[in-house]
């Protein structure tokens, strides 16, 4: 009588064994799938901060040569010349030509570009061996008035055959205070501006893609100007 009971017990153990294995296997798989999931780091589209004290130049900037070779990407227009006269004063005729190249693409408005900004452009031109500077965006009349582009004291630029990072790093050495400096890795250009008096220098990185589509040239009877635009002089 003991043998049937023994066979019955053995049958019960064998029937239960697969369930135990299945549970164990299921537990192991769950643990494995959880461990393989990796958290992806998200890079913010925009990040910025006030410039540190160490990033502000304490020595005076050298006077640039005044030479500039500028090409407005959206207009297909070029200027190659000097912003200074022989006596070292600003050449209003040259500045007026550059003002026109900085004009708002959307409205055609022209405003006098901050002369100190053009001196920074000349320093960049000098530093990179006279390579062409490509203007991505200048004056933007349709921009909010808090933007330095609205006040014609900002420029988005590239330097031909030079990395945007090299341009950004050199532009940083020109900051004696109240300078805005942004890098746009996706679009490959650098923003440089002069802040309003009292505003601290600012640095930022913007990964959003800004397009620079070429504008269609429109012939108008006259170019609208907002004060204090310069007029060419002989």
Q: What is the pLDDT of residues 71-113, one digit of tens each?
A: 999 999 999 999 999 999 999 999 999 999 999 999 999 999 9
The verdict on whether omega for the bond into residue 100 sits within 30 degrees of 0, i.e. cis, is no
Strand pairing report for 46-50 and 202-206: antiparallel
In a domain, 29, yes or no: no
Residue 84 in domain: yes
pLDDT tens string 9-24: 555 445 554 444 444 4
Structural domains in the chain (count): 1
**Assigned domain for 167 exists:** yes
Q: What is the CATH number of the domain that holds 83?
A: 3.30.1380
Question: Considering the domain boundaries, does residue 118 fall inside one?
Answer: yes
70 burial level (CB within 10 Å; 0-12, 13-18, 19+): buried
Structure tokens at 131: 């390579």
Average pLDDT over residues 130-147: 94
Expressed as residue numbers, the domain containing 195 is: 64-206
> Does pLDDT of 47 surpass 80?
yes
Domain annotation covers residue 142: yes
CA 158 to chain CA mean position, Å:
10
Note whether residue 21 is domain-resident.
no
* pTM, two decimal places: 0.75
For residue 124, tell me if it sits in a domain.
yes
Distance CA 231, CA 234 (A): 10
């Amino acid at each position: 009588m003991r043998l049937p009971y023994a066979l019955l017990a053995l049958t019960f153990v064998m029937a239960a064994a697969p369930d135990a294995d299945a549970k164990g296997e299921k537990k192991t798989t769950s643990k494995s799938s959880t461990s393989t999931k990796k958290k992806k780091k998200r890079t913010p589209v925009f990040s910025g901060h006030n410039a540190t004290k160490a990033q502000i130049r304490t020595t005076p900037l050298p006077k640039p040569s005044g030479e500039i070779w500028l090409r407005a990407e959206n207009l297909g227009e070029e200027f190659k010349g000097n912003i200074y006269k022989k006596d070292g004063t600003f050449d209003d005729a040259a500045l007026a030509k550059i003002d026109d190249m900085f004009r708002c693409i959307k409205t055609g408005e022209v405003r006098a570009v901050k002369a100190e900004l053009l001196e920074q452009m000349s320093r960049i031109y000098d530093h990179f061996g006279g390579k062409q500077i490509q203007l991505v965006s200048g004056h933007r009349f349709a921009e909010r008035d808090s933007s330095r582009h609205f006040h014609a004291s900002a420029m988005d630029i590239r330097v031909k055959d030079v990395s945007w990072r090299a341009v950004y790093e050199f532009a940083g050495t020109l900051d004696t205070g109240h300078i805005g400096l942004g890098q746009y890795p996706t679009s490959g250009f650098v923003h440089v501006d002069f802040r309003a008096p009292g505003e601290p220098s600012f640095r930022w990185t913007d990964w959003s893609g800004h397009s620079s589509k070429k504008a269609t040239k429109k012939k108008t009877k006259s170019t609208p100007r907002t004060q204090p635009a310069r007029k060419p002089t002989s």
